[in-house]
Structure 1
């Protein structure tokens, strides 16, 4: 670990205990369920949470740091719960919204999964979370005997990752808009995070949950978190595996094996998957010319882009664009 990397320890089942530690170690101010830290030394950290039922917590964290910080997650594991973490990093202004979209992600894990995440300086980051005891899950979603129901009752540590579909991206946009309103904040945060939970259940019921991994060490999780952000930081440029091998100080085979264990795809396949998903999002949600989308995402030409797009989505981008224009409520 870098000498100047500061550590913040958090307990997801007891946010107020984490608040008190941050207050003591970094001089944050705490007002009930709201923590604020903003100074020249550390930068900005803003955290707020609400407890809706005993141990059922939703919250949001915003940060933009002047020093790198490592947030370590651990719990006392007294009861089973599931955590959902959804959000993006990058600047939230309209000019750089494209970058934050690349970093959108959905993480789900249980109370036995420990991890830590390193956050860089001078980057606006926001995530939303839900912590729900397993015994309350069936109060909010339909739980037949499917993959999710089986997963949440497992004792071993597990972790699930997925990219964001348009419906989840839409939820983030709505949260980003309403979270600024103190009157709407509490209710919207709860309703939207329960909506995320229901979307997860629908995926499980229809297709199962393929991206589940068991018993991943927290050091490996931290490595692939950083590697994922490196890979997706510029979708215009195919990752150079030699550069990544040198940066992370391990052989290509070990780097690929560790990455694939969590994300279920080799590095370049993972990159191409996300690049095409971003292309689809821009085809549907923007008015950019298809040639511009192709160029900005690093395809050699429009024909190459169209062929790759067709191979993944079963239709050419021009067809998707026409459908989105003719039926905007279906796509937006």
Structure 2
């Protein structure tokens, strides 16, 4: 049996492709079952920046890749040819090295971020619940968790607690020439929103509004950071008074429409409004950029800031890469057994 990795990420596909392949909630269970029909063992990972499958071959390399593309083409409604062009597929050494780099955040848009480790652990636990993990992937992921532990403790790769949220707030601060005296609205109440709130507070943002479909969740999050909760039905009315909107919901569709944004901007007399959309699929349509006074940045637009972050961490990245290569040594028997 051989190990494989299949997927697409921010390195190979833009957000317009990734948002169609992203899998959330109960759909992950469904996709995992489909994938288990292709692979003897399988773990499925879906985040804002990547959708990946780690598995053990049932058929040939060519058959497996073709079947994987077919599953995601069926799910996403994207043509087979597009997914074939945008996806990557590796086996054995390269597949395992890829997992080690991903879980250690070396392959992340924001190198050093901590969320990816938790996301992969959650994906592994889901696969265990559905009994799609066997002895090989169990050993592989156990080893991967040891790798990331070593990387985090022996390098400074995560120093400063960088994340997509921190990059977003840094961007807002630069564009608005500081956040003191500014009002921010957070749409969503998940982990990304919580991280965003922490960074807004640390950057001395004066007023923070929180909205979510569950008003109770919005209240809990707002209270934790001395913000104000807004009912989801009312957030469009409040938009006319804010300076920045950072959205990160798990909605499968846009939560703000062009016409709604146009009405808001007319009420603001076109006073500039900054949108940062961290959601995949996107919460905010790109067409609102046509409206005077609107500035919109998506998660892919944060790449420039993330590149600056990577340059500062280059030495720590090299240390982490070296640790991964040490773990790769002597694993041939594991790759080819059975």
Q: TM-score range by the shorter chain?
A: under 0.3
With structure 1 as the length reference, what TM-score do the two structures score?
Answer: 0.25
Q: TM-score, with normalisation over the residues of structure 2?
A: 0.24
Larger RCO, structures 1/2 (Cα 8 Å, 6+ apart)? 2
Bigger radius of gyration:
2
